[in-house]
Amino acid sequence: MKLMVTGIGGVGGYLASFLSTYYPGQVTLIARKARKESLAAKGLVLHSEYFGEHVTHPAVTDTPANAGIQDVIFVCVKNYSLEAALKAVIPCIGADTIVFLIQNGIDHAEKAREIVPQGHIIDAAVYINSKYNDDFSIEQSGKFARIFFGSDDADSCRRVEEILAHEGLRIHNEGAAIGTQIWIKYITNCAFNVITAYYEETIGAIFARPDGKEQFHTLLEEATNVGRATGIALPEDLVETIYGRVIAQKNKDVYSSLANDIMAGRKSELDTFSGLLVRTAEKVHVAVPLSAMMYHAIAKRIAERQQQ
């Protein structure tokens, strides 16, 4: 079996370590420059509360075509890098290759179908707290790592389920109903990522504001209304479920990935978490005033900082 992972960040690195542990000699990582050199010299190092300590030595290349046709390609890059990542691995995609997408947002599977000439696309929503460190090791915290995945191709879903069914991941094969899980995660991100990026504060600090919790709840409501207007079947109690879970979480001294990227001056997924929602809301004629206000304010702030 030939497995490939592109995007060796927090999520991709954890998944690559997981795969390399159970399928030694069958995994190829796509990495470049200093990360490629580090992986080749030291291996892929994982520090995980959930999966344990692992050092594996998968193959590493910056020329995907050299690895040949793959059975499954796990694409773990951020949305703004999706097109380039997919075009780079096209030589590795055969008629039976499964392209497993792990992105934020709601439109990446549609984009992938326009780029990938053949093979089978599976969409996924991942829940994990992980990051890569300055030494390119992967650090995962918390006692969970969950993947919801699916497509209308039942055979491909079963193939992936067999590959991932090991300790270190909790997997959920949603089949053709994966769209609901994609939207549930997206709704969470449209509130959590956007509000922490808007204030550039931890979620705990935001909840301490007089209107912080109310604004978070409103963002959840707006995103959920958009999802339902697009025809996605969402649980009736979804907003309260997400709200209650975040309110109850013990560690609130956390920023979102979007907030971290913006504060560090890095390229961000603001358009994925907020711009896409605002545009979709316009198409389905749903009002999202708070989401729109925060989106435009954050975009303006980013533009102003880039000019300084």
Tell me if domain 3-173 and domain 180-307 are identical in fold.
Answer: no
What does the pLDDT read at residue 292?
A: 98
Q: 180-307: which CATH topology?
A: N-(1-d-carboxylethyl)-l-norvaline Dehydrogenase; domain 2 (1.10.1040)
d(CA 101, CA 99): 6
What does the pLDDT read at residue 149?
A: 98
d(CA 201, CA 98): 39
What does the pLDDT read at residue 193?
A: 97
Domain ranges of the chain: 3-173, 180-307
207 neighbors 199 (Cβ within 8 angstroms): no
Based on the number of CB atoms within 10 Å of its own CB, is 153 exposed (0-12), middle (13-18) or buried (19 or more)? Answer: middle
d(CA 76, CA 34): 19
Give the position of tokens 């790592």: 145
CATH of 3-173, one of 3.40.50.720, 3.40.50.10800, 3.30.465.10, 3.40.50.300: 3.40.50.720
What does the pLDDT read at residue 260?
A: 92
Per the rule left: phi > 0, alpha: psi between -120 and 50, beta: everything else, 285 is left
What does the pLDDT read at residue 242?
A: 98
What does the pLDDT read at residue 308?
A: 83
Residue type, 165: A
pTM of the shown model: 0.95
State whether residue 42 is helix, strand or coil. Answer: helix
What does the pLDDT read at residue 178?
A: 97
- HEC assignment per residue over 208-257: CCCCHHHHHHHHHHHHHHHHHHCCCCCCCCHHHHHHHHHHHCCCCCCCCH
Token readout for 165 is 């069914």
Closest alpha carbon to 308 in 265, 278, 267:
265
d(CA 59, CA 51): 21
Closest alpha carbon to 115 in 146, 81, 90:
90
What does the pLDDT read at residue 115?
A: 97
d(CA 58, CA 3): 10
pLDDT beneath 50, residues of the chain: none
Closest alpha carbon to 196 in 80, 294, 304:
294
Q: Which residues contact 185 (CB under 8 A, 6 or more apart)?
A: 104, 125, 127
